[in-house]
């Protein structure tokens, strides 16, 4: 038995995992941190532009639609390059020297990208609530803002939870793109380990399994919540 365990421990994939485990776990933590930050800011951005998209004002609807269409029409990697390299260059042309850290640039890029999709999720969630709810709240003397905050959004949020979790999963996978700007997330760390050990197969297998565990767990949570939401409606 001990000889079998020794043989397993000598496998390249086990050697890489044991040697670089702390770096991999730390990079996974960075990935989760970036994802959570991006989703929080994206929710705020999405709420603002969702309100614009359901507004009666043509100007606000135009602004909201322009943001959603523009951001969704630009690849995330291009947006990341624009923020990380383009914005400092623009300030430099004005005589202002700034340098965005990879975490800040990555958070901004992911938040803008995810915010466009969150705007559509929130808009769809609000529009799924019967208009009579808003009319009833307004008839009780509540303002539009308080009616939206107190009556419509709590109901819409129940509908939006599964979609928000799915967007969290998508954003988590999108963090791998930010390895191009040097942010030490899981994919970037995997690339460094593969370069140091020259064992790409084993390294990327470990990285893939780590992503798989997190994403499958979140997917299962989303399904459980969705089932509970359905039972709650019934």
Is 204 within a domain? Answer: yes
Is 137 within a domain? Answer: yes
pLDDT at 230: 66
134-184 pLDDT, tens digit per residue, is 778 888 887 877 888 788 888 888 888 888 888 888 899 888 888 888 888
Is 1 within a domain? Answer: no
Is 2 within a domain? Answer: no
Q: How many domains is the chain partitioned into structurally?
A: 1
**Domain assignment of residue 98, given as a range:** 7-233
Is 130 within a domain? Answer: yes
Is 103 within a domain? Answer: yes
CATH assignment at residue 129 = 1.10.3720.10
pLDDT at 114: 93
Residue 93 in this model has a pLDDT that exceeds 90? no
Is 198 within a domain? Answer: yes
pLDDT at 139: 82
Q: Please give the full DSSP string across the chain, using - where no structure is assigned.
A: -HHHHHHHHTSHHHHHHHHHHHHHHHHHHHHHHHHHHHHHHHHHHHHHHHHHHTSS-HHHHHHHHHHHHHHHTS-HHHHHHIIIIIHHHHHHHTT------HHHHHHHHHHHHHHHHHHHHHHHHHHTS-HHHHHHHHHTT--HHHHIIIIIHHHHHHHHHHHHHHHHHHHHHHGGGGGGGT--SHHHHHHHHHHHH--HHHHHHHHHHHHHHHHHHHHHHHHHHHHHHHHHH-
């Amino acid at each position: 038995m001990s000889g079998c365990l020794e043989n397993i421990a000598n496998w390249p994939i086990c050697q890489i995992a044991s040697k670089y485990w702390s770096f991999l776990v730390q990079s996974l933590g960075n990935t989760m941190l970036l994802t959570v930050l991006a989703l929080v800011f994206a929710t705020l951005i999405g709420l603002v532009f969702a309100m614009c998209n359901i507004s009666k004002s043509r100007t606000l609807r135009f602004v909201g639609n322009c943001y959603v269409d523009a951001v969704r029409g630009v690849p995330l990697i291009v947006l990341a390059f624009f923020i990380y390299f383009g914005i400092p260059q623009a300030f430099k042309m004005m005589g202002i020297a700034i340098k965005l850290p990879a975490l800040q640039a990555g958070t901004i890029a992911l938040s803008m990208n995810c915010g466009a999709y969150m705007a559509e999720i929130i808009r769809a969630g609000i529009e799924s609530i019967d208009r009579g709810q808003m009319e009833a709240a307004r008839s009780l003397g509540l303002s539009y803002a308080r009616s939206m905050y107190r009556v419509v959004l709590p109901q819409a949020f129940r509908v939006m939870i599964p979609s928000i979790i799915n967007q969290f999963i998508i954003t988590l996978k999108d963090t791998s793109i930010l390895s191009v700007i040097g942010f030490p997330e899981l994919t970037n760390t995997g690339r460094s380990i593969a370069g140091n050990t020259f064992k790409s197969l084993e390294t990327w297998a470990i990285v893939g399994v780590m992503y798989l565990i997190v994403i499958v767990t979140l997917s299962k949570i989303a399904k459980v919540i969705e089932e509970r939401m359905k039972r709650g409606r019934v």
